[in-house]
A and B are shown apart, each in its own frame.
Chain A
Amino acid sequence: MAGVGTKSGVKYDARGLVEPDAEIPHVSEVDGKSARFDAGNLTTRQINLELRDLIYVQGMEDVTVVNPGSKNSLGVGILKRVNLTFEGSPGWFACGLIDGPQVRIKGRVGWALAENMMSGTVVVDANAGSLTCAAIRGGDVLVNGDVGARTGIDQKGGTIMVMGDVGINTGFMMQRGRQIIAGNAGDGLGDSMYDGTLYVGGTVASLGVDCVEGEWTDADTEFIERKYRIYDLGTPPTFQKFVCGKVLHNYDSLEPSERKLVL
Protein backbone atom coordinates (compact mmCIF):
# COMPACT_ATOMS: atom_id res chain seq x y z
CA MET A 1 0.00 0.00 0.00
CA ALA A 2 1.42 3.38 -1.01
CA GLY A 3 2.44 5.65 1.80
CA VAL A 4 2.36 2.93 4.42
CA GLY A 5 5.22 2.78 6.88
CA THR A 6 6.02 0.44 9.72
CA LYS A 7 7.12 0.97 13.26
CA SER A 8 7.75 -1.94 15.57
CA GLY A 9 5.96 -4.18 13.10
CA VAL A 10 2.78 -2.08 13.14
CA LYS A 11 1.67 -0.45 9.89
CA TYR A 12 0.61 3.19 9.69
CA ASP A 13 -0.67 5.22 6.78
CA ALA A 14 1.25 8.16 5.34
CA ARG A 15 -0.20 10.52 7.97
CA GLY A 16 0.68 8.19 10.80
CA LEU A 17 -2.91 8.32 11.93
CA VAL A 18 -4.41 4.93 11.34
CA GLU A 19 -3.48 1.35 10.77
CA PRO A 20 -4.76 0.34 7.36
CA ASP A 21 -5.93 -3.15 8.30
CA ALA A 22 -9.59 -2.86 9.35
CA GLU A 23 -10.44 -6.56 9.35
CA ILE A 24 -11.66 -8.20 12.56
CA PRO A 25 -8.99 -10.83 13.29
CA HIS A 26 -11.38 -13.38 14.90
CA VAL A 27 -8.63 -14.97 16.98
CA SER A 28 -10.45 -15.45 20.29
CA GLU A 29 -10.99 -18.66 22.16
CA VAL A 30 -14.66 -18.60 23.19
CA ASP A 31 -16.19 -20.56 26.05
CA GLY A 32 -19.85 -19.76 26.53
CA LYS A 33 -20.05 -16.05 27.32
CA SER A 34 -16.30 -15.77 27.98
CA ALA A 35 -13.61 -15.01 25.43
CA ARG A 36 -9.85 -14.71 25.51
CA PHE A 37 -7.31 -13.71 22.92
CA ASP A 38 -3.57 -13.09 22.61
CA ALA A 39 -2.90 -9.55 21.43
CA GLY A 40 0.83 -10.02 21.05
CA ASN A 41 0.81 -10.01 17.25
CA LEU A 42 -2.18 -7.73 16.76
CA THR A 43 -2.21 -3.99 16.11
CA THR A 44 -4.14 -1.53 18.24
CA ARG A 45 -6.90 -1.34 15.66
CA GLN A 46 -7.16 -5.10 15.36
CA ILE A 47 -7.37 -5.48 19.15
CA ASN A 48 -10.15 -2.91 19.41
CA LEU A 49 -12.02 -4.44 16.46
CA GLU A 50 -11.82 -7.85 18.13
CA LEU A 51 -13.08 -6.37 21.41
CA ARG A 52 -16.04 -4.65 19.77
CA ASP A 53 -16.99 -7.78 17.88
CA LEU A 54 -16.83 -9.89 21.04
CA ILE A 55 -18.73 -7.40 23.19
CA TYR A 56 -21.32 -5.95 20.82
CA VAL A 57 -21.87 -8.63 18.20
CA GLN A 58 -21.18 -11.88 20.08
CA GLY A 59 -22.47 -10.59 23.42
CA MET A 60 -19.55 -11.79 25.53
CA GLU A 61 -19.77 -11.00 29.24
CA ASP A 62 -16.13 -11.70 30.17
CA VAL A 63 -13.28 -10.83 27.84
CA THR A 64 -9.57 -11.28 28.56
CA VAL A 65 -6.79 -9.69 26.50
CA VAL A 66 -3.45 -11.44 26.94
CA ASN A 67 -0.14 -9.70 26.09
CA PRO A 68 -1.43 -6.18 25.39
CA GLY A 69 2.20 -5.24 24.86
CA SER A 70 1.93 -1.61 26.04
CA LYS A 71 0.08 -0.68 22.87
CA ASN A 72 -1.80 2.60 23.07
CA SER A 73 -5.55 3.23 23.09
CA LEU A 74 -6.69 -0.27 23.97
CA GLY A 75 -10.23 -0.91 25.18
CA VAL A 76 -11.50 2.54 24.27
CA GLY A 77 -15.10 3.54 23.64
CA ILE A 78 -16.75 0.49 25.20
CA LEU A 79 -20.29 1.48 26.10
CA LYS A 80 -21.65 -1.69 27.71
CA ARG A 81 -21.50 -3.63 30.97
CA VAL A 82 -18.81 -6.27 30.46
CA ASN A 83 -15.90 -7.67 32.49
CA LEU A 84 -12.71 -6.80 30.62
CA THR A 85 -9.32 -8.04 31.84
CA PHE A 86 -5.88 -7.16 30.52
CA GLU A 87 -3.25 -9.73 31.46
CA GLY A 88 -0.26 -7.44 31.03
CA SER A 89 0.26 -3.73 30.61
CA PRO A 90 -1.57 -1.51 28.14
CA GLY A 91 0.09 1.73 27.00
CA TRP A 92 -1.24 5.27 26.80
CA PHE A 93 -4.93 6.19 26.73
CA ALA A 94 -6.16 2.77 27.82
CA CYS A 95 -9.90 2.41 28.41
CA GLY A 96 -10.73 5.98 27.46
CA LEU A 97 -14.31 7.09 26.82
CA ILE A 98 -15.78 3.98 28.42
CA ASP A 99 -19.33 3.81 29.76
CA GLY A 100 -20.10 0.72 31.80
CA PRO A 101 -17.36 -1.91 31.65
CA GLN A 102 -15.63 -3.30 34.71
CA VAL A 103 -11.96 -3.38 33.80
CA ARG A 104 -9.08 -5.13 35.56
CA ILE A 105 -5.52 -4.41 34.44
CA LYS A 106 -3.08 -7.01 35.74
CA GLY A 107 -0.03 -4.87 35.17
CA ARG A 108 0.82 -1.19 34.92
CA VAL A 109 -0.50 1.36 32.49
CA GLY A 110 0.79 4.44 30.66
CA TRP A 111 -0.48 8.00 30.45
CA ALA A 112 -4.14 9.03 30.42
CA LEU A 113 -5.82 5.89 31.68
CA ALA A 114 -9.63 6.14 31.58
CA GLU A 115 -9.69 9.68 30.21
CA ASN A 116 -13.22 10.94 29.72
CA MET A 117 -14.62 7.83 31.42
CA MET A 118 -18.39 8.02 31.91
CA SER A 119 -19.16 5.03 34.16
CA GLY A 120 -17.90 1.61 35.21
CA THR A 121 -14.87 0.54 37.22
CA VAL A 122 -11.17 0.31 36.37
CA VAL A 123 -8.75 -1.44 38.72
CA VAL A 124 -4.99 -1.34 38.02
CA ASP A 125 -2.75 -3.73 39.95
CA ALA A 126 0.43 -1.65 39.63
CA ASN A 127 1.35 1.94 38.67
CA ALA A 128 -0.28 4.35 36.23
CA GLY A 129 1.28 7.24 34.30
CA SER A 130 0.47 10.92 34.25
CA LEU A 131 -2.93 12.34 33.38
CA THR A 132 -4.72 9.34 34.84
CA CYS A 133 -8.47 9.92 34.57
CA ALA A 134 -8.15 13.21 32.70
CA ALA A 135 -11.61 14.76 32.36
CA ILE A 136 -13.31 11.73 33.91
CA ARG A 137 -17.07 12.27 34.34
CA GLY A 138 -18.12 9.24 36.36
CA GLY A 139 -17.29 5.78 37.69
CA ASP A 140 -14.54 4.43 39.94
CA VAL A 141 -10.84 4.06 39.12
CA LEU A 142 -8.50 2.32 41.55
CA VAL A 143 -4.72 2.33 41.05
CA ASN A 144 -3.00 0.10 43.57
CA GLY A 145 0.44 1.62 42.93
CA ASP A 146 1.63 5.17 42.28
CA VAL A 147 0.46 7.57 39.59
CA GLY A 148 2.23 10.40 37.77
CA ALA A 149 1.42 14.09 37.46
CA ARG A 150 -1.91 15.83 36.96
CA THR A 151 -4.10 12.93 38.03
CA GLY A 152 -7.74 13.86 37.47
CA ILE A 153 -6.92 17.02 35.55
CA ASP A 154 -10.23 18.63 34.56
CA GLN A 155 -12.09 15.95 36.53
CA LYS A 156 -15.87 16.44 36.20
CA GLY A 157 -17.10 13.55 38.34
CA GLY A 158 -16.31 10.04 39.48
CA THR A 159 -13.96 8.67 42.11
CA ILE A 160 -10.21 8.19 41.66
CA MET A 161 -8.47 6.05 44.27
CA VAL A 162 -4.67 5.78 44.46
CA MET A 163 -3.12 3.52 47.07
CA GLY A 164 0.37 4.91 46.49
CA ASP A 165 1.70 8.41 45.82
CA VAL A 166 0.58 10.99 43.26
CA GLY A 167 2.73 13.48 41.35
CA ILE A 168 2.53 17.23 40.90
CA ASN A 169 -0.64 19.16 40.13
CA THR A 170 -2.99 16.36 41.12
CA GLY A 171 -6.58 17.56 40.72
CA PHE A 172 -5.53 20.46 38.50
CA MET A 173 -8.64 22.40 37.45
CA MET A 174 -10.83 19.74 39.05
CA GLN A 175 -14.50 20.63 38.74
CA ARG A 176 -16.44 17.81 40.44
CA GLY A 177 -15.85 14.32 41.83
CA ARG A 178 -13.57 12.87 44.44
CA GLN A 179 -10.01 11.58 44.80
CA ILE A 180 -8.78 9.29 47.56
CA ILE A 181 -4.98 9.34 47.77
CA ALA A 182 -3.66 6.97 50.39
CA GLY A 183 -0.02 8.01 49.94
CA ASN A 184 1.74 11.33 49.47
CA ALA A 185 0.83 14.14 47.08
CA GLY A 186 3.33 16.22 45.10
CA ASP A 187 3.45 19.98 44.71
CA GLY A 188 0.42 21.98 43.64
CA LEU A 189 -2.32 19.69 44.91
CA GLY A 190 -5.72 20.88 43.66
CA ASP A 191 -4.28 23.84 41.78
CA SER A 192 -7.01 26.04 40.29
CA MET A 193 -9.73 23.59 41.25
CA TYR A 194 -13.35 24.76 40.92
CA ASP A 195 -15.01 22.12 43.08
CA GLY A 196 -14.74 18.48 44.15
CA THR A 197 -12.96 16.84 47.06
CA LEU A 198 -9.43 15.54 47.55
CA TYR A 199 -8.61 13.15 50.41
CA VAL A 200 -4.90 12.60 51.19
CA GLY A 201 -3.64 10.01 53.65
CA GLY A 202 0.05 10.94 53.48
CA THR A 203 1.87 14.24 53.23
CA VAL A 204 1.19 17.08 50.81
CA ALA A 205 4.28 18.76 49.34
CA SER A 206 2.32 21.95 48.71
CA LEU A 207 -1.21 23.07 47.94
CA GLY A 208 -2.04 24.68 44.63
CA VAL A 209 -3.75 28.01 44.14
CA ASP A 210 -7.15 28.16 45.89
CA CYS A 211 -6.94 24.66 47.36
CA VAL A 212 -7.67 24.69 51.09
CA GLU A 213 -8.25 22.21 53.87
CA GLY A 214 -11.93 21.25 54.20
CA GLU A 215 -14.10 20.42 57.17
CA TRP A 216 -14.49 16.68 57.77
CA THR A 217 -18.09 15.40 58.03
CA ASP A 218 -19.81 12.08 58.69
CA ALA A 219 -20.51 11.84 54.95
CA ASP A 220 -16.75 11.83 54.31
CA THR A 221 -16.26 8.98 56.76
CA GLU A 222 -19.10 6.98 55.20
CA PHE A 223 -17.72 7.56 51.71
CA ILE A 224 -14.14 6.55 52.52
CA GLU A 225 -15.19 3.47 54.50
CA ARG A 226 -17.60 2.38 51.76
CA LYS A 227 -14.98 2.58 49.01
CA TYR A 228 -12.38 0.76 51.12
CA ARG A 229 -14.92 -1.96 51.87
CA ILE A 230 -16.11 -2.40 48.28
CA TYR A 231 -12.59 -2.65 46.90
CA ASP A 232 -11.26 -4.74 49.82
CA LEU A 233 -8.56 -2.21 50.68
CA GLY A 234 -8.33 -2.94 54.38
CA THR A 235 -8.55 -0.30 57.08
CA PRO A 236 -8.38 3.25 55.74
CA PRO A 237 -5.68 5.55 57.12
CA THR A 238 -6.51 8.94 58.58
CA PHE A 239 -7.18 11.29 55.72
CA GLN A 240 -7.00 15.05 55.34
CA LYS A 241 -9.69 16.63 53.18
CA PHE A 242 -9.00 19.40 50.65
CA VAL A 243 -11.53 21.47 48.73
CA CYS A 244 -11.72 24.63 46.65
CA GLY A 245 -11.41 27.88 48.57
CA LYS A 246 -13.82 29.51 46.08
CA VAL A 247 -11.65 32.58 45.74
CA LEU A 248 -10.11 32.05 42.35
CA HIS A 249 -13.07 30.60 40.40
CA ASN A 250 -16.73 30.68 41.33
CA TYR A 251 -19.34 29.29 38.98
CA ASP A 252 -22.27 30.82 40.79
CA SER A 253 -21.17 34.43 40.52
CA LEU A 254 -18.91 34.46 37.48
CA GLU A 255 -19.84 31.59 35.24
CA PRO A 256 -23.36 30.32 36.00
CA SER A 257 -23.86 28.86 32.54
CA GLU A 258 -20.45 27.19 32.49
CA ARG A 259 -21.34 25.30 35.64
CA LYS A 260 -23.95 23.35 33.70
CA LEU A 261 -21.30 22.12 31.31
CA VAL A 262 -19.62 20.06 34.00
CA LEU A 263 -22.74 18.31 35.32
Chain B
Amino acid sequence: MADSTRTVSIDAEQLAGRRFPYQEDISLVEGIDLMAATPGDDLNWLEDIEMLTEDGYPAVFDRYSNSFLKIYFDVPSGRENEIARKVLVKHLQDGNSYGITLKEIHCKFPQVELGPWVAESKTIGTDYKPPVLEGWEAPSGH
Protein backbone atom coordinates (compact mmCIF):
# COMPACT_ATOMS: atom_id res chain seq x y z
CA MET B 1 0.00 0.00 0.00
CA ALA B 2 1.44 3.37 -1.00
CA ASP B 3 2.54 5.68 1.80
CA SER B 4 0.63 8.51 0.17
CA THR B 5 -2.71 6.71 0.61
CA ARG B 6 -5.09 8.87 2.58
CA THR B 7 -8.35 7.73 4.10
CA VAL B 8 -10.66 8.85 6.82
CA SER B 9 -11.24 5.26 7.87
CA ILE B 10 -9.05 3.17 10.16
CA ASP B 11 -7.75 0.24 8.18
CA ALA B 12 -6.23 -2.90 9.71
CA GLU B 13 -3.83 -3.18 6.77
CA GLN B 14 -2.56 0.32 7.28
CA LEU B 15 -2.05 -0.22 10.99
CA ALA B 16 -0.13 -3.44 10.35
CA GLY B 17 1.67 -2.18 7.26
CA ARG B 18 0.68 -5.24 5.23
CA ARG B 19 -2.22 -7.28 3.91
CA PHE B 20 -2.90 -10.71 5.36
CA PRO B 21 -3.35 -13.89 3.28
CA TYR B 22 -6.72 -14.72 4.83
CA GLN B 23 -8.13 -11.47 3.46
CA GLU B 24 -7.70 -12.89 -0.04
CA ASP B 25 -8.18 -16.66 0.34
CA ILE B 26 -11.37 -18.11 1.78
CA SER B 27 -9.77 -21.55 2.18
CA LEU B 28 -7.61 -20.16 4.98
CA VAL B 29 -10.65 -19.42 7.15
CA GLU B 30 -13.06 -22.21 6.24
CA GLY B 31 -11.68 -24.47 8.98
CA ILE B 32 -12.12 -21.95 11.79
CA ASP B 33 -14.33 -23.37 14.58
CA LEU B 34 -16.33 -20.39 15.82
CA MET B 35 -17.95 -22.26 18.69
CA ALA B 36 -14.57 -23.39 20.00
CA ALA B 37 -13.28 -19.83 19.73
CA THR B 38 -15.96 -18.34 21.98
CA PRO B 39 -17.01 -18.85 25.60
CA GLY B 40 -20.27 -20.58 26.44
CA ASP B 41 -22.60 -22.71 24.36
CA ASP B 42 -23.22 -20.40 21.42
CA LEU B 43 -21.39 -17.68 19.53
CA ASN B 44 -21.32 -15.32 22.53
CA TRP B 45 -19.67 -12.02 21.52
CA LEU B 46 -19.48 -13.03 17.87
CA GLU B 47 -23.26 -12.71 17.74
CA ASP B 48 -22.66 -8.97 17.36
CA ILE B 49 -20.12 -9.37 14.56
CA GLU B 50 -21.54 -9.00 11.07
CA MET B 51 -20.35 -8.31 7.56
CA LEU B 52 -20.11 -4.59 6.87
CA THR B 53 -18.79 -2.52 4.00
CA GLU B 54 -15.80 -0.18 4.07
CA ASP B 55 -14.42 1.75 1.11
CA GLY B 56 -16.59 -0.37 -1.16
CA TYR B 57 -15.26 -3.72 0.10
CA PRO B 58 -16.86 -6.27 2.38
CA ALA B 59 -15.23 -5.76 5.76
CA VAL B 60 -15.36 -6.89 9.36
CA PHE B 61 -14.72 -4.55 12.28
CA ASP B 62 -11.93 -5.50 14.67
CA ARG B 63 -12.89 -3.98 18.01
CA TYR B 64 -9.46 -4.81 19.43
CA SER B 65 -7.79 -2.28 17.15
CA ASN B 66 -10.83 -0.15 16.21
CA SER B 67 -10.16 -0.86 12.55
CA PHE B 68 -11.81 -2.47 9.55
CA LEU B 69 -10.39 -5.65 8.04
CA LYS B 70 -11.35 -5.76 4.38
CA ILE B 71 -12.19 -9.01 2.62
CA TYR B 72 -11.09 -9.35 -1.01
CA PHE B 73 -12.35 -12.81 -1.95
CA ASP B 74 -15.87 -13.54 -3.17
CA VAL B 75 -18.08 -14.16 -0.17
CA PRO B 76 -20.66 -16.93 -0.77
CA SER B 77 -24.18 -15.60 -0.69
CA GLY B 78 -25.95 -16.26 2.58
CA ARG B 79 -22.71 -16.81 4.51
CA GLU B 80 -21.70 -13.17 4.93
CA ASN B 81 -21.78 -12.98 8.73
CA GLU B 82 -20.19 -16.43 9.15
CA ILE B 83 -17.30 -15.48 6.89
CA ALA B 84 -16.87 -12.11 8.59
CA ARG B 85 -16.63 -13.86 11.96
CA LYS B 86 -14.16 -16.44 10.66
CA VAL B 87 -11.88 -13.82 9.11
CA LEU B 88 -11.92 -11.82 12.34
CA VAL B 89 -11.20 -14.84 14.53
CA LYS B 90 -8.34 -15.90 12.21
CA HIS B 91 -6.94 -12.37 12.47
CA LEU B 92 -7.11 -12.50 16.26
CA GLN B 93 -5.85 -16.07 16.65
CA ASP B 94 -2.83 -15.27 14.50
CA GLY B 95 -2.06 -12.31 16.77
CA ASN B 96 -2.24 -9.82 13.93
CA SER B 97 -4.67 -7.34 15.47
CA TYR B 98 -2.71 -4.12 15.93
CA GLY B 99 -3.94 -3.57 19.48
CA ILE B 100 -2.66 -7.00 20.45
CA THR B 101 0.75 -6.42 18.90
CA LEU B 102 1.14 -3.45 21.25
CA LYS B 103 0.32 -5.39 24.41
CA GLU B 104 3.72 -6.97 25.04
CA ILE B 105 5.34 -3.55 25.36
CA HIS B 106 2.58 -1.53 26.93
CA CYS B 107 0.38 -3.69 29.16
CA LYS B 108 0.84 -2.87 32.81
CA PHE B 109 -0.41 -5.97 34.59
CA PRO B 110 -0.16 -9.71 33.91
CA GLN B 111 -2.55 -10.92 31.24
CA VAL B 112 -2.66 -13.29 28.31
CA GLU B 113 -1.10 -12.01 25.11
CA LEU B 114 -3.97 -13.19 22.96
CA GLY B 115 -7.55 -13.30 24.17
CA PRO B 116 -10.24 -15.85 24.95
CA TRP B 117 -10.34 -16.94 21.30
CA VAL B 118 -7.41 -19.31 21.95
CA ALA B 119 -7.12 -22.02 24.58
CA GLU B 120 -3.60 -21.13 25.64
CA SER B 121 -1.53 -18.00 25.29
CA LYS B 122 1.60 -16.78 27.01
CA THR B 123 1.31 -14.39 29.93
CA ILE B 124 2.77 -10.94 29.41
CA GLY B 125 2.84 -7.76 31.45
CA THR B 126 4.63 -9.31 34.43
CA ASP B 127 7.56 -6.88 34.20
CA TYR B 128 6.18 -3.59 32.94
CA LYS B 129 8.60 -0.72 32.67
CA PRO B 130 7.35 2.68 31.52
CA PRO B 131 8.87 3.65 28.16
CA VAL B 132 11.51 6.33 28.41
CA LEU B 133 12.00 8.93 25.70
CA GLU B 134 15.73 9.25 25.08
CA GLY B 135 17.07 12.64 26.09
CA TRP B 136 13.88 13.71 27.85
CA GLU B 137 13.95 14.95 31.40
CA ALA B 138 11.03 15.79 33.60
CA PRO B 139 10.53 19.55 34.09
CA SER B 140 11.77 20.83 37.40
CA GLY B 141 9.20 20.47 40.09
CA HIS B 142 7.79 17.22 38.67
B61 pairs with A263, CB closer than 8 A: yes
A57 pairs with B110, CB closer than 8 A: yes
CB < 8 Å neighbour of A139 from B39, B110, B111, B115: B39
A159 pairs with B47, CB closer than 8 A: yes
Chain B interface residue bracket vs A: 20 to 34
Within 8 A of B (CB), among A102-138: 102, 118-121, 137-138
Residues in chain A near residue B63, CB distance under 8 A: 118, 137, 263
B116 pairs with A121, CB closer than 8 A: no
B116 pairs with A100, CB closer than 8 A: yes
Known: A57-B123, A120-B44. A263 touches B52 (CB 8 A): yes
Residues in chain B near residue A102, CB distance under 8 A: 39-40
CB distance from A254 to the nearest CB of B (A): 17
A119 pairs with B111, CB closer than 8 A: no
Residues in chain B near residue A137, CB distance under 8 A: 45, 48, 63
CB distance from A155 to the nearest CB of B (A): 10
Known: A120-B116, A263-B61. A81 touches B39 (CB 8 A): yes
Known: A139-B45, A263-B52. A79 touches B38 (CB 8 A): no
Known: A52-B109, A120-B116. A230 touches B48 (CB 8 A): no
Residues in chain B near residue A158, CB distance under 8 A: 45, 48
Q: Quick check: is B134 within 8 A (CB to CB) of the other chain? A: no
Q: Taking CB as reference atom, which chain B residue is nearest A117?
A: B45
How many Å lie between the Cα of A100 and that of B45 in the bound state?
9
B61 pairs with A260, CB closer than 8 A: yes
Contact with A along B29-68 (1 / 0, CB 8 A): 0000000001111101101100010000000010100000
How many Å lie between the Cα of A118 and that of B41 in the bound state?
16
A100 pairs with B48, CB closer than 8 A: no
Q: Taking CB as reference atom, which chain A residue is nearest B68?
A: A260
Known: A56-B111, A57-B110. A230 touches B61 (CB 8 A): no
Within 8 A of B (CB), among A175-214: 176-177
How many Å lie between the Cα of A77 and that of B115 in the bound state?
12
Q: Quick check: is B119 within 8 A (CB to CB) of the other chain? A: yes
A120 pairs with B110, CB closer than 8 A: no
B48 pairs with A157, CB closer than 8 A: yes
Q: Quick check: is B26 within 8 A (CB to CB) of the other chain? A: no
Residues in chain B near residue A176, CB distance under 8 A: 48
B110 pairs with A81, CB closer than 8 A: no
B123 pairs with A99, CB closer than 8 A: no
Residues in chain A near residue B48, CB distance under 8 A: 137-138, 157-158, 176-177
A119 pairs with B116, CB closer than 8 A: yes
A79 pairs with B116, CB closer than 8 A: yes
Q: Quick check: is A80 within 8 A (CB to CB) of the other chain? A: yes
Q: Taking CB as reference atom, which chain A residue is nearest B103?
A: A79
CB distance from A76 to the nearest CB of B (A): 11
Contact with A along B102-115 (1 / 0, CB 8 A): 00000001111001
Residues in chain B near residue A146, CB distance under 8 A: none
Known: A101-B39, A121-B40, A137-B45. A52 touches B116 (CB 8 A): no
Known A57-B126, A119-B116, A121-B40; 8 more pairs at CB < 8 Å: A57-B110, A100-B39, A120-B116, A121-B44, A137-B63, A140-B40, A157-B48, A176-B48
A-B contact pairs, 29 of them (CB 8 A): A52-B111, A53-B110, A79-B111, A80-B111, A99-B116, A100-B39, A100-B115, A101-B39, A101-B116, A119-B39, A119-B115, A120-B45, A121-B44, A137-B45, A137-B48, A138-B48, A140-B40, A140-B44, A157-B45, A158-B45, A159-B47, A176-B48, A177-B48, A226-B42, A230-B41, A230-B42, A257-B8, A260-B61, A263-B52
Question: What residues make up the interface of A, taking CB atoms closer than 8 Å to B?
Answer: 52-53, 56-57, 77, 79-81, 99-102, 118-121, 137-140, 157-159, 176-177, 226, 230, 257, 260, 263
